[in-house]
Amino acid sequence: MAEAVRRRGGGIAGLHGLLAEHGEAIEADLHRFYGIRLRKALYGPQAERLSARELLVRIRHLPQESALSLALGGPAARLTVADHLLVRIEHRLAGANWQRGGGKGARPKPVKLPTAEDARRKQSYVRRLRNLGLIPA
């Protein structure tokens, strides 16, 4: 998560770009995980305001299950190391069972996990449909 946010640039310009693109997800996450209202953090009383650096630090360290993580990485962002290991175990077991059965039937295929590329492809497709007016904006 921190790496995806870090690649976008830092400081106020990076924060502005991140808020412009993923403001709703960030607002929901700040409230959910830190109890911070984004409006108060930016424009509230001086005692409740956060500097750009303080806000970016909190955003960078949002947990894997955050809405921003899902927005940046798609469904693949929700997968943990344990999920990947379980898929490998399942594939090995299916292969072993297939071999013990004499190799009859179709060879088992690995379970395809969602990737960040799948999410980007879907977003691109949705954007094209919106541009054509086929789905509402």
Confidence of residue 5 (pLDDT cuts 50, 70, 90): low
Evaluate if residue 137 carries a pLDDT over 70. Answer: no
Per-domain boundaries in the chain: 2-71, 78-131
The 10 Å Cβ neighbour count of residue 38 is 19
Q: 69-118 pLDDT, tens per residue?
A: 888 877 777 888 898 899 899 999 999 999 988 888 888 888 888 777 77
Measured between alpha carbons, how far is 82 from 99 in angstroms, rounded to an integer? 26
Q: Which of 57, 6, 9, 3 is nearest to 30 (CA)?
A: 57
What integer pLDDT is reported at residue 6 of this predicted model? 57
Evaluate if residue 35 carries a pLDDT over 90. Answer: yes
Evaluate if residue 13 carries a pLDDT over 70. Answer: yes
> Which residue carries 């990076």 as its tokens?
14
What integer pLDDT is reported at residue 3 of this predicted model? 58
Measured between alpha carbons, how far is 4 from 18 in angstroms, rounded to an integer? 11
